[in-house]
Amino acid sequence: MTTTPTPPPASRTRPTVPLRALLILPAGAALLLGLNAALQLLGTWAPVTSSRLADQHGYLMTLGFVGTLIALERAVALGRLWGYAAPVLLSVGSIGAITPLPTAAGAWLMVAGASVLAAIYRPLWLRNRDEAVLVQALGAVCAVIAAALRAGGVPVSVLIAWLAGFVILTIAGERLELARFAMGPRANALLSSFALAYCCAAVVALLWPGVGYPLLGVVVVALTAWLAANDVANKMIRTTGHTRFMAACMLAGYGWLLVAGVVWVGGPAFMGGPYDAVIHAVFIGFTISMIMAHSSVILPAVIRRPLPYRPVMWVAALVVHGGLVARIWLGDLLGIPLAHMVGGVANVVGVAGFFVIALGSALLATRSQGVSS
């Protein structure tokens, strides 16, 4: 009697991760180095102690971490190999800035990376002539100017308006892309006008700080008020689960950006409490909060793996914003040193904790997907 051979059990296929996802690793390294530098500047214990690392704190967190993530996401949207030069150059330049290599080498690599990022927006614009892309392109131009001035020896405190312009205009343009219908028929023209006004005010602030920074503050306050009033997050906050988490992070981000604008209305902020308040309101309160809000939407497009929302993400977000309240309101504005330090440490713990949670969420989802396939 002939027996039919039993077919071998189907092999479990493990989900593959695209090679481009490896570019997240240097971005993560820049984040860890930037958080380490933050602990140094706060005067607390830090895993690595280096004066050069502390000097690069702002750069590592903005163009190194945030810049690499934005450039990677834009390169994926472009779909051409040359676009990946932007995240590569930005990440290598940021990490190179804290190696024994000459500081200028890392600085000019970041200029090159920011320039490639700006160039990416041309073909993206030609696809559909979308004003939201133009706003993001202006943000990339701000990054190029900031990187070039830094490479030329201009202090970081003088470049904050340009570094802030990079993240503010990029995120504002992305919000227009994602929530265009909620913002009304005039949204394209209004946001483009705000973006141009911001860039003009940043030029004035660079040349005549006493006039330019109040003007810049007015633009930021007006832009933030318009975004917060017209964003779909106002409706999303009345939902539950992931949607409410996204809305809460976005609205909190707008609140901190408004704080930075109000500080600038009062004049230049190059040192002390006002300077600390501006940079952390913009780059932690606004930027990191927006990254938290969109992490489960944008990162899967890069890594081609789900990053599910977990309720524990609320804990990290609350630690970040609670730390900002202590640092900015109690530490910077009321002059309480202990509140400044405790708030700063809470910011580091909250930011690091969120990305650990996000990594764990992605790994668990990938494992579950591999088992079920």
Smallest CA-to-CA distance from 164 within 134, 206, 131, 208 is with 206
Domain count, the chain: 1
pLDDT at site 204: 96
Q: Does residue 118 contact residue 144 with C-beta atoms inside 8 Å?
A: yes
Q: Which amino acid is residue 101, in one-letter code?
A: L
pLDDT at site 148: 94
Whether 88 maps to a domain, the answer reads yes
The string of pLDDT tens digits covering residues 247-261 is: 999 999 999 999 999
User: pLDDT band at 97, cuts 50/70/90?
Assistant: low
Q: Taking 50 as the threshold, does the pLDDT of residue 370 lie above it?
A: yes
- 65-69, 134-138, 365-369: which has the highest mean pLDDT? 134-138
Whether 182 maps to a domain, the answer reads no
Buried b (16+ CB within 10 A) or exposed e, 138-173: bbbbbbbbbbbbbbeeeebebbbbbbbbbbbbbbbb
Whether 304 maps to a domain, the answer reads no
pLDDT at site 180: 73
Q: Taking 70 as the threshold, does the pLDDT of residue 7 lie above it?
A: no
Domain that residue 33 falls in: 20-129
Mean pLDDT value of segment 240-253: 94
Lowest-confidence pick of 44-58, 159-173, 287-301, 349-363: 44-58
The string of pLDDT tens digits covering residues 341-368 is: 999 999 999 999 999 998 888 788 766 6
Whether 74 maps to a domain, the answer reads yes
Burial of 72 (0-12, 13-18, 19+ CB in 10 A): buried
Whether 114 maps to a domain, the answer reads yes
The string of pLDDT tens digits covering residues 186-226 is: 888 999 999 999 999 999 999 999 999 999 999 999 999 99
> What secondary structure does DSSP assign to 30-93, as a single string?
HHHHHHHHHHHHHTS--SS--HHHHHTHHHIIIIIIIHHHHHHHHHHHHT-GGGGHHHHHHHHH
> What secondary structure does DSSP assign to 212-228, as a single string?
HHHHHHHHHHHHHHHHH
User: pLDDT band at 309, cuts 50/70/90?
Assistant: confident
Whether 315 maps to a domain, the answer reads no
Residue 241, sorted as left (phi over 0), alpha (psi -120 to 50) or beta, turns out to be left
Whether 255 maps to a domain, the answer reads no
How far is 261 from 274, CA to CA, in rounded Å? 11
Whether 102 maps to a domain, the answer reads yes
